[in-house]
Amino acid sequence: MELTKEQLKQLLPKNPYIDHWHHALSILLPDYEINTPQRIAAFIAQCSHESGGFTALKENLNYRAETLTRLWPRLFPPEIAKAYAAMPNKQEAIANRAYGGRMGNGDEHSGDGFKFCGRGLIQLTGRSNYQAFADSLEMSIDDVPEYLGTFEGAAQSACWFWESNNLNTWADKGDILTLTKKINGGTIGLEDRVKHYEHALHVLGA
């Protein structure tokens, strides 16, 4: 099936860029076989939760000290969390510490953590993921951060992640719990994702 502009308006009622998103999705969804009401509903629901209704295309790392300690207790014990939360370039510093030395990133001082922080509709994160995405499009990894900030790039990275992790299989089963675990690594926001999914099914006439 094809997602119409009117349907997308109902799914993203507060988004001012429906024309741009519809243009990108109408090209990309068929390419990645996100082409049934169940698949489209699951995709839109997960992306809506991850990106605040297709509005936040870059991870917000503007955390307070207490939040840092809760999210990353090993990396940000209270005293270190306070120091990082008080830094003038705190988002960059937090990303470099939180993501340094993993997901293919260099250590904290390499700057990879911030360079390859979460971007796109499903928050593509880490040098390894950026490189794999770049390879799939035969583009340079250095061009990926900027591309992920565009409508097409943000949507395509989500479609690529979806295909790479075989998420259509779980969408076909209506298994939002497993989809959420594959995308989030846990079950954060499950209730909201289910709500988006059920609304999307209704709008798509499934």
Q: CA 157, CA 88: separation in Å to the nearest integer?
A: 30
pTM: 0.92
Contacts of 128 (CB under 8 A, 6+ apart): 103, 104
Instruction: Give 13's pLDDT tier (boundaries 50, 70, 90).
Output: very high
DSSP output for 125-194: -SHHHHHHHHHHHT--GGGHHHHTTSHHHHHHHHHHHHHHTTHHHHHHTT-HHHHHHHHHSS-TTHHHHH
What is the arithmetic mean of pLDDT over 185-205?
95
Instruction: Tell me which DSSP letter residue 87 carries.
Output: S
Instruction: Give 62's pLDDT tier (boundaries 50, 70, 90).
Output: very high
Q: Please report how many Cα atoms fall inside a 13 Å half-sphere around the Cα of residue 144, on the Cβ side.
A: 28
Q: CA 2, CA 25: separation in Å to the nearest integer?
A: 10
pLDDT digits (tens, 9 = 90+) for 23-34: 999 999 999 999
Instruction: Give 185's pLDDT tier (boundaries 50, 70, 90).
Output: confident
Residue 206 scores a pLDDT above 80? no
Sign of the Cα torsion 55, 58, 62, 66 reads positive
